[in-house]
Amino acid sequence: MAKIRLGILGGGEDSLIGILHRVAANMFDQFEIIGGVFDIQHEKSLKFGEKLKLDPARVYKDLDDLIAKEKSLPQVERLQAVSVLTPNFLHFPMAKKLLENGFNVICEKPLTTTYEEAKILNEIQQKSNSVFAVTYTYTGYPMIRQMKTMIENGDIGKIQKVDIQYYQGWINPLIHDKDKRSATWRLDPEKSGISCCIGDIGTHAFNMAEYVTGMKVENILADLNYLYEDNPMDIDGTVLLRFGGNVKGVLRASQIATGEENNFTVQVYGDKGGLKWQQENPNNLVLLKEDRPLQVLKPGHGYLSEFSLEGTKLPPGHPEGIFDSMGNIYYGVAMAINENEKYKGAYPKLNDGLRGMNFIEKTVASHKNGNVWIKIED
């Protein structure tokens, strides 16, 4: 079975979301990135395709071009799925076209800029056979999967309190300067819809609240903060939540929590215990039970649910980020093979292994000779 042929819209140059999607697509050997539209300027798009070592024929001028040409290819060559990584206001028209033309879609959040658009999309998909994913990335963490499973299994009993926080500080250096705030696309309703903070990160928090609890929010009461009269978009807010069965919760989101990076926390309390998770320390799931020591569950252990374990690829104690560390080493090697002088030092070399062997033998010798000092020659 061949890998799934994937196209990408947006995510070119140094786009962080672009890197994230490409790495994720490669991670389980399931996708092959074939082409896409990486930039509105075709020139730039082609250049980026070259960097990805793609066939330039599959790097298109725009989405219409992509759809037309891909549909002319035999089915075994045609793109099967397309990731939409463009600015928010393009999600809707692009996802709509892709669905209407039979592609599977992976779309960044927020899904659209209005609820109305989202409902239209939903209707189209329900009549289609396409897979449609919205990348609420955080739901993929092994310990979030474990949290969801444990709540489902009743490990913390009936839920009685839900508390979600998503605090960032990135908009602080922009918001207090009139010129800067009017030049920020996130604060432009044309490009970002009716909400900045809630639209960007509040949705993650809302999705997570429903995802881990398996409950639906039925009523909300919100207090948002815009800070300046001329700023049309919220940059901070608190939302009181009422789930079914009168379960209460509170969702707090901010982009003016100065100095915060991506402080997303999830706390759920039931009548038999509590579960807590922090995105910045994603390998730890804290379980609180009355009259028992606090427990910290970590990825990869046999005591976890199958669902959690399926999302972990390494043994306990290796934070998931180890892929990045190894990735950096492979990059150093690639640079060396490509004779890019600058990077030559950035991977461990044979000589490092040589010293390692020397160390091992001398260590055993020191011990076996009665714990004596031994010289390690250079």
Residues from 18 through 77 that contact a copy of itself (CB under 8 A): 19-32, 50-53
* 224, 236 Cβ separation under 8 angstroms: yes
Minimal distance in Å, beta carbon 63 to a copy of itself? 18
The site map against a copy of itself for 221-260 (x = CB under 8 A) is xxxxx-x------x-xxxxx-x-----x-x-x-x-xxxxx
The site map against a copy of itself for 257-286 (x = CB under 8 A) is xxxxxxx---x-xxxxxx----xxxxx---
- The tokens for 354 are 């040589």
Q: By C-alpha distance, which of 185, 182, 195, 190 is closest to 231? A: 182
Minimal distance in Å, beta carbon 255 to a copy of itself? 10
Calculate the CA dihedral of residues 362, 368, 369, 372 and round it to 10 degrees.
Answer: 60
| 41 vs 122 by CB, closer to a copy of itself | 122
| 183 vs 220 by CB, closer to a copy of itself | 220
Minimal distance in Å, beta carbon 241 to a copy of itself? 9
**Is 215 among the residues that bind a copy of itself (CB under 8 A)?**
no
**How far from 106 is each of 33, 86, 94, 109, 193, CA to CA, in Å?**
13, 12, 11, 10, 20
The span of 39-47, 62-70, 71-79, 106-114 binding a copy of itself (CB under 8 A) equals 106-114
Give the Cα separation of 371 and 153 in Å (integer). 54
Minimal distance in Å, beta carbon 39 to a copy of itself? 16
Minimal distance in Å, beta carbon 41 to a copy of itself? 20
| DSSP assignments along 235-281, one per residue | -EEEEEEEEGGG-EEEEEEES-STT--SEEEEEEEETTEEEEEETTS
Minimal distance in Å, beta carbon 9 to a copy of itself? 16
Residues from 148 through 187 that contact a copy of itself (CB under 8 A): 156-157, 160-161, 163, 165, 167-169, 172-173, 176
Phi-psi region of 53 (alpha: psi -120 to 50; beta: other; left: phi over 0): left
Residues from 323 through 352 that contact a copy of itself (CB under 8 A): 323-334, 336-338, 346-352
Residues from 116 through 155 that contact a copy of itself (CB under 8 A): 117-119, 121-122, 125, 131-142, 144-145
Size of the site for a copy of itself (CB under 8 A): 191
**Is 366 among the residues that bind a copy of itself (CB under 8 A)?**
yes
| 46 vs 224 by CB, closer to a copy of itself | 224
Q: Is residue 214 classed as helix, strand or coil in its secondary structure?
A: coil
| DSSP assignments along 10-30, one per residue | E--TT-HHHHHHHHHHHHTT-
Strands 104-107 and 31-37, how do they pair?
unpaired
Chosen residue from 109, 191, 305, 309 binding a copy of itself by CB under 8 A? 109
**Is 372 among the residues that bind a copy of itself (CB under 8 A)?**
yes
Give the Cα separation of 197 and 205 in Å (integer). 11
Q: By C-alpha distance, which of 48, 122, 51, 71 is closest to 92? A: 122
